Structures are given as structure tokens and as C-alpha cells.
Amino acid sequence: MSAYELARTLVQPSHALMLLAVLGLLLLVLRWRRTGLGLSALGLGGLLVTGVLPVGAYLAQGLEARHPRPTSPPARVDGILVLGGFTAPDATCADRHIRLNDAAERLLEVLVLARRYPDARLVISGGGWAFAQGCSEAEQTARFLARYGFDMTRLELETRSRNTFENALFTYRQVRPQPDEVWLLVTSAVHMPRAVAVFERVGWRVVPWPVDFIGTDTLWHLPAVIDLPRRWRELDLVAHEALGLLWYRWRGRIAG
């Protein structure tokens, strides 16, 4: 694990709260009773609250509302671009079946849009973490679509990108969109603010087409009490995007 991956893991709220609780228990063993109890209560209490209540979903609403879908679908679309991030991070082309994660709606929406706009170019952008294993996420997606009879002559792959900034930069250089062309950008709604800002930074005006909303489920239901991992994943995702916006702004990858 690289230093970047370690830092990214530690700043996730669920991991940070867990580490806080473990540190508190360790201090209790070392007889730092007051400090240990305080840290343990803070960590475990935070895990309980964020696991039972839809905190992540509430916080996601602000990000997801920035770039809604058009009220009416465009009459003409020249291209459809979907960003990777919907496969398991350790998946490879040696896998017999593609392994999808919680962002799988990105891929499913592409199938719908491809049928609605049969003349539009279709681009899958993503090297992903599997890129280091010699097989990009875009290539995995192509194999998946080929198995289900998709018209592969329409498909264009961008296979080098490993993050949102590279998605925009590498795909822009490869596709060379014209100023008057209409391109739909498909990605998760919570990720859309960062994605749109980056694409605008490289000079590509896209039409946001968000999917995979998590901010719609903000009601507390009794069955959700036992679905702690889901609530923690939602909170971690929102924190990842919020920190990503700050990081990209600091690096000059998006406008301040």
C-alpha cells in the first residue's frame, strides 16, 4: 500500500472512528483511564450514530443537487462518456465475470443511453486500480458488453486514466470533441461536481447525466439499523468527494 492509499484510508470517517476507538482501548490497557474512556466513547459513539442514521445520505444531498439531469433529454447527442469506478478494485481481465460495485448504475445507464441515441459515440474512460495489473477497467467493461451482444464498433476505450483528472485530460485528447458537440457525462451523482469541474478545466463543456444517487434515502427505517456497513460506505463516499474537491482545488485541477 502506497503512502497516498494509506492516507486516503485513514481519512475515511468510518476508519478514523474505528482507529479512535482502538486507540482509546489501548490507552485503557495502559491505564490512561480518563483519556482512554473519552476516545473510546467518541469512536464507538460516532460509529453507532453514523451507522444507524443516514448521515452520509443527508450530506450527499448538497453535492448531488449541484448538477441535476436536464429536465428534458437532449434531442441530439454526439457522444456518451461514462467514467470508470464501477468494478471491484482487484478485478482483472482473467476473471470470467466482471465484478461490479455499488456504482454499477453507471454502466447500466450507458446501455439505456446507447439505445436512445444510436448514432452517438460511446466512450468508456478508466484505467482504474486494475491498470497496474495490465488490464484496464475500460477493457474489462468492453469484455462484459461483448458477452451480451453489444455493438462493439461503437465503443471507444480510454485505458490509461487512474483518477478523475486523468479521465478528463486523457479522454479529451483522445476524443477531440468539437465545441458544438453535445456530450453526456455519466457518473455517480455525488461524484459529478468534481467531474464537471475537471472537465471544464480541460476545456470540455459536458452535459451532466448523474446516476447512482444516495441522497434520496434520508429517512430512518428500522431495518436500516442493522445495515451499518452501508451507512458507513455512504459517509466515506461523501467525505472522499468533499476532500477530493479541496485537493483538486489546491492542486489547480479545478477553478477556485
196 occurs within a structural domain: yes
Mean pLDDT confidence for 75-89: 89
Whether residues 231 and 111 share a domain: the answer is: no
* pLDDT tens digits, 199-223: 999 999 999 999 999 987 655 555 5
46 occurs within a structural domain: yes
216 occurs within a structural domain: no
- Beta carbons within 8 Å of 119's beta carbon, 6+ residues apart: none
Whether residues 21 and 55 share a domain: the answer is: yes
Whether residues 163 and 89 share a domain: the answer is: yes
Residue 244's Cα: distance from chain center in Å? 11
Instruction: Give the pLDDT band (50/70/90) at residue 76.
Output: very high
Q: At residue 129, does pLDDT exceed 70?
A: no
Q: At residue 63, does pLDDT exceed 80?
A: yes
148 occurs within a structural domain: yes
Q: How many residues does the chain have?
A: 256
Q: At residue 197, does pLDDT exceed 90?
A: yes
Whether residues 203 and 245 share a domain: the answer is: no
218 occurs within a structural domain: no
pLDDT of 225 reads 53
Q: How many structural domains is the chain composed of?
A: 2
Whether residues 123 and 239 share a domain: the answer is: no
Whether residues 123 and 231 share a domain: the answer is: no
Residue with the three cell numbers 456518451: 80
Whether residues 77 and 197 share a domain: the answer is: yes
* pLDDT tens digits, 139-178: 888 888 888 788 888 899 999 998 999 999 999 999 999 9
End-to-end Cα, the chain, rounded Å: 31
pTM to 2 decimal places: 0.88
CATH assignment of the domain containing 135? 3.40.50.620
- Cα 114 to Cα 112: distance, rounded to the nearest angstrom: 6
Whether residues 184 and 79 share a domain: the answer is: yes
pLDDT of 137 reads 84
pLDDT of 143 reads 84
**Higher local confidence (pLDDT), 52 or 6:** 52
Range of the domain at 8: 3-63+223-251
Closest CA to 144 of 89, 198, 107, 116: 107
pLDDT of 130 reads 44
Q: At residue 224, does pLDDT exceed 60?
A: no
Whether residues 76 and 104 share a domain: the answer is: yes
Q: At residue 8, does pLDDT exceed 90?
A: no
Whether residues 86 and 207 share a domain: the answer is: yes
Whether residues 190 and 233 share a domain: the answer is: no
114 occurs within a structural domain: yes
256 occurs within a structural domain: no
Whether residues 178 and 84 share a domain: the answer is: yes
